């Protein structure tokens, strides 16, 4: 049986949502997975990375987190789910080499290193490109692939075409931009002209200025 990209990725997404014990709307939840998926699809076009492995990594790698802060074993736990996912048909059709790449990418993605394999490197790059959501500044030295480094550089520069393009892509793929600054622990998500802080929708006047400034800096979308 072949891996049917659209069908099986949807099944994997649903599986991961059911598995996830934390808040799906929080920083390691569904909108993060979708952005990692979007970044991965871009990187697969710019490198020799395997798109299917990248897409599976997006939905699997954080699915077993048990804590939003330090949880060094969550990558290992995600990797250990792969055999089950082959058995239940969701990852059926991936080749042994694709499964090995996915396993290593999940297992070690928390260790903060670079990887020479183009697919594993691109998996980690796609995850790290979404670090600005946590308030962490990204730097090319932590990226494995050349396109990853370029995208990182572009995301870090105000008004760069890359940043505008990535933000537009995230909107298209329904992976909403999601902000959390280093000082404000409550995540805010912009929905049209309103803001959602995890509990209620707020007009811009009720949102901390720091969050609005971060939105301006990061997306250049007029408020």
Q: Which is nearer to Fe ion, 9 or 207 (CB)?
A: 9
Closest CA to 68 of 35, 26, 31: 26
Pull the structure tokens for residue 142. 């932590």
Q: Which is nearer to Fe ion, 50 or 130 (CB)?
A: 130
Q: Which is nearer to Fe ion, 31 or 44 (CB)?
A: 31
Q: How far is the CB of 110 from Fe ion (least distance, A)?
A: 9
Q: Which is nearer to Fe ion, 37 or 62 (CB)?
A: 62
Q: How far is the CB of 58 from Fe ion (least distance, A)?
A: 8
Q: How far is the CB of 161 from Fe ion (least distance, A)?
A: 25
Q: How far is the CB of 15 from Fe ion (least distance, A)?
A: 17
Please tell me the distance from the alpha carbon of residue 59 to that of residue 55, in angstroms, as a whole number: 7
Q: Which is nearer to Fe ion, 50 or 127 (CB)?
A: 127
Q: Which is nearer to Fe ion, 125 or 207 (CB)?
A: 125
Q: How far is the CB of 127 from Fe ion (least distance, A)?
A: 4
Please tell me the distance from the alpha carbon of residue 76 to that of residue 61, in angstroms, as a whole number: 9
Q: How far is the CB of 109 from Fe ion (least distance, A)?
A: 7
Binding site for Fe ion (CB under 5 A): 62, 127
């Amino acid at each position: 049986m072949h891996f049917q990209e659209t069908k099986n990725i949807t099944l994997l997404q649903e599986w991961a949502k059911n598995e996830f014990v934390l808040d799906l709307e929080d920083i390691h939840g569904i909108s993060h997975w979708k952005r990692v998926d979007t970044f991965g699809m871009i990187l697969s076009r710019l490198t020799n990375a395997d798109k299917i492995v990248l897409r599976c990594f997006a939905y699997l790698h954080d699915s077993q987190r048990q804590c939003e802060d330090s949880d060094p074993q969550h990558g290992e736990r995600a990797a250990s789910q792969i055999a089950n996912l082959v058995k239940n048909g969701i990852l059926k059709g991936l080749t042994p080499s694709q499964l090995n790449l996915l396993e290593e990418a999940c297992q070690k993605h928390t260790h903060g290193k670079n990887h020479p394999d183009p697919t594993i490197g691109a998996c980690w790059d796609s995850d790290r490109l979404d670090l600005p959501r946590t308030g962490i500044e990204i730097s090319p030295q932590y990226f494995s692939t050349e396109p990853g480094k370029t995208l990182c550089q572009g995301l870090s520069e105000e008004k760069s075409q890359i940043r505008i393009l990535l933000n537009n892509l995230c909107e298209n793929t329904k992976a909403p931009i999601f902000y959390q600054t280093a000082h404000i622990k409550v995540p805010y998500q912009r929905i049209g002209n309103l803001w959602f802080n995890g509990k209620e929708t707020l007009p811009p006047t009720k949102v901390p200025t720091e969050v609005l400034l971060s939105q301006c800096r990061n997306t250049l979308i007029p408020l």
